[in-house]
Amino acid sequence: MSLIIDGHNLIGVMPDIRLGDRDDELRLLIALRAYRARAGGQPMIVFFDSGDPSMRPGQAMPASTPDLSTPGVQVRFSAPGEIADDAIVAYLQSRAQPGQYAVVTNDQELSWRARSAGASVIRASDFVARLIPPRAPAPKPDAPALDPHDPAFADIYRGFIEAEKGRGRPRGQPAAGDAALWIERLYGDDVEQAQQAARWLGQFGGPDALDDLRNALTHPDVRVRAAALLAMGALGNRAALSDLRDRLAHDPGSMAREAAAQSLGRLGDRAAEFALEAAAKNDPKGKVRRAAQAALAEIRARRGN
């Protein structure tokens, strides 16, 4: 999953950068590069309105704009007379798989246009929390590599269901009403907390939780994406069906594809059957194929055939 950054929109919510500062674009790029280096993050494409980042309003645009791109963080300026929003949408429309992109913006119109083009959206006001490095982080051991034969991952859905049945709040966790705290944890770098946040949203978040769970589908860790996909099934909101079908077909992590299949079994109808049938026949992972077959059986049992 690659990120498309609405550059000036993101600057507008940065706590230590102001639009109009002489170096506002460069400081944003420094923050994005640091975040990507720290989090091992996704590729980014940053779109700015046309012009040299050192220019101020009223200055003539030079014949060429300097290339500020670095590995993993590509920088693009819109053409003269074109706004960055239009450049972003045109870029998405030119992609064979726009669903592999998430647009970072608070602009409601651009959000709607990006989703219409097939991309997902992350609110800039949420994404900015990722760019602020944690204060004095405690050292953590490297996360163990995922072993597909490890019994802990034999059935991620079973663990989710147990958590859903218990409805218990682990000691030290936010109360059910503290939605903002759970959403903050969903976007954090702690994988376990992000999984717990996704589960909470699936249980208590209600209709408003769907957008946050959609945004979590851009998380670089497959365990968080899988938890978000299972939470979508728990929400019972059929508006998630397109996201589930897309992840079943395209997510690079088999754990996430399995979770998407399971949630389609809970929510799906005839329209979901085509995606599940394709996965049951063609997915390279046996667990995903079996999950798709079980989901098909669940949908058909509800329908009575």
Q: 269 and 223 in one domain?
A: yes
> 96 and 223 share a domain?
no
* 158 and 256 within one domain: yes
Same domain membership, residue 121 and residue 36? yes
Q: What CATH number does residue 285 fall under?
A: 1.25.10.10
The whole model's pTM is what? 0.47
Tell me what pLDDT residue 58 has.
37
* 140 in any annotated domain: no
In sign, the C-alpha dihedral spanning 28, 7, 216, 226 is negative
Do residue 121 and residue 196 come from a single domain?
Answer: no
3-state secondary structure of 263: helix
Counting the structural domains of the chain, the total is: 2
- Residue (of 233, 251, 297, 245) closest to 274 by Cα position: 245
Do 111 and 213 belong together in one domain?
Answer: no
Phi, psi at residue 125, to the nearest 5°? -65, -25
pLDDT in single tens digits along all 305 residues of the chain: 789 999 999 988 888 888 777 788 888 888 888 888 877 667 899 999 875 444 433 333 343 445 678 888 899 988 888 899 999 999 999 999 999 999 999 999 999 999 999 999 999 888 888 887 665 444 444 444 444 444 444 444 454 445 444 444 444 444 445 677 777 788 777 888 888 888 888 888 788 888 889 888 888 888 999 999 999 988 888 888 889 989 999 999 999 999 999 999 888 777 788 889 999 999 988 889 998 998 888 888 877 65
Q: Which two tokens stand for residue 249?
A: 């077909």
Q: Does 57 reside within a domain?
A: yes
Tell me, yes or no, whether 256 and 207 share the same domain.
yes
Task: Supply the range of the domain harboring residue 240.
Answer: 151-303
137 inside domain: no
